[in-house]
Structures are given as structure tokens and as C-alpha cells.
């Protein structure tokens, strides 16, 4: 293959010869370079400094501003807009993010409350009528936006529905009335229920 490519007439371009042979032109160039014993040229990436990059003292001023009292709890976008309202332009929002990231200060800047661990109440019942539980559920009607309230009182041990009621409204007086009727129906002494 290489011989055919190398001995092609001068008037025949490399791209047409590669297309006729079903070869990739860049692969042919690489084969030729390896055959010559050379390495592909390495692209040199100069560490060029952007002409509009902030100088060190400007970076320090931006960080000082972000740490100042009125802005220390604010995200960079809000700091940027508040400074613009005052007629100041230090740098872009992304530059503020970049400077904070370089210092390991990116993320939430406001003081956060630590996670709260609350004990979940657990109720146990070892016999009927020891613990009752109640809830109110909304039941939608055919007409949109109108609901009935279903009040249900359950015995935790047997899962028996002790009392229930349907009402057009939801209030504490109705729930108190339902609970008093259930207590009277099952002859529960005060303090017997949990």
C-alpha cells in the first residue's frame, strides 16, 4: 500500500489516491512519519496569560470584597448585582466563582444549621383499646375543588375502626365530638387511652 502511495504520479493528489485505495489520509501521513523514524510533532502549549486577566492585587480586592460584612453570606451572582447597583464592577460572576473555588470556598456561603435528629414517636399496643389513633382525610367530590372530610379513629392493636364521621368542614370541635362519642360507646375510663 505504501509503495502505491509513494510511487503515485505527482499530478495525483494524496487525497484522491487515499480515497481510491480506501485509506484515511491522516493514517498514511502517520505511517510515512513512522517509516522515516520520526515522532509526530508535539504541540506546544504556552502558558499564555490572558490580557484581560485580573492582576494579583485585583484578585485580592475581589476576595476581600466577597469576605466583607455585607457580602460574606451572599452568593457571587448576588454580590455582583449589588455591586453593579452601586456602580462598581470588579469582575464577572464566573471569575468570582473561580476565585472562591481556588481557595476552597465554593458552595453554600451562609451559616447552616446542623442536621436535626428528632426521635420518632413509636406507640405500642398489647391489647385492644389501649391506644387509639385518628386522622382526617379529604374526599374529593364530583365537583372540582369541593371536598368532604372523613374523620376516622382506629384501634392500634386490632386495626378496628372505632369511630368515623363525614363532614363538610374540618375543625377541632368536630374531632373532639367524635372522640367523646367513641369513648362513651366503648366505656373507656378517663386516662385509660394513650
Cα 45 to the center of its chain, rounded Å? 36
Could you list the pLDDT tens digit for every one of the 194 residues in the chain?
667 777 788 788 888 888 888 888 888 888 878 877 766 555 555 556 777 788 999 999 999 999 999 998 889 999 999 999 999 999 999 999 999 999 888 877 777 788 888 888 888 899 998 899 999 999 999 989 899 999 999 999 999 999 999 999 899 999 999 999 999 998 887 666 65
In the prediction, which pLDDT does 22 show? Answer: 86
Per DSSP, the three-state class of 33 is helix
Q: Is the pTM of this model over 0.85?
A: no
Q: What is the pLDDT of residue 192?
A: 66
Q: Where are the chain's structural domains?
A: 2-35, 56-102, 132-185
- List, in order, residues 6 or more apart from 24 with CB less than 8 Å away: 18
Distance CA 113, CA 86 (A): 32
How many Cβ atoms are within 10 Å of 28's Cβ, its own excluded? 19
Amino acid at each position: 500500500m505504501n509503495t502505491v502511495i509513494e510511487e503515485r504520479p505527482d499530478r495525483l493528489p494524496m487525497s484522491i489516491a487515499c480515497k481510491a485505495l480506501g485509506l484515511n489520509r491522516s493514517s498514511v501521513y502517520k505511517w510515512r512519519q513512522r517509516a522515516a523514524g520520526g515522532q509526530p510533532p508535539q504541540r506546544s502549549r504556552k502558558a499564555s496569560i490572558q490580557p484581560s486577566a485580573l492582576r494579583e492585587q485585583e484578585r485580592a480586592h475581589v476576595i476581600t470584597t466577597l469576605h466583607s460584612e455585607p457580602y460574606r453570606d451572599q452568593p457571587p451572582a448576588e454580590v455582583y448585582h449589588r455591586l453593579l447597583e452601586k456602580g462598581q464592577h470588579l469582575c464577572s460572576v464566573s471569575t468570582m466563582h473561580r476565585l472562591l473555588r481556588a481557595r476552597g470556598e465554593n458552595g453554600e456561603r451562609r451559616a447552616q444549621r446542623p442536621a436535626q435528629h428528632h426521635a420518632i414517636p413509636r406507640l405500642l399496643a398489647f391489647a385492644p383499646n389501649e391506644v387509639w389513633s385518628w386522622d382526617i382525610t379529604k374526599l374529593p367530590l364530583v365537583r372540582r375543588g369541593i371536598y368532604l372530610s372523613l374523620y376516622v379513629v382506629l384501634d392500634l392493636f386490632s386495626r378496628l375502626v372505632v369511630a368515623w364521621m363525614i363532614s363538610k368542614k374540618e375543625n377541632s370541635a368536630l374531632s373532639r365530638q367524635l372522640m367523646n362519642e367513641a369513648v362513651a360507646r366503648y366505656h373507656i375510663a378517663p386516662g385509660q387511652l394513650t
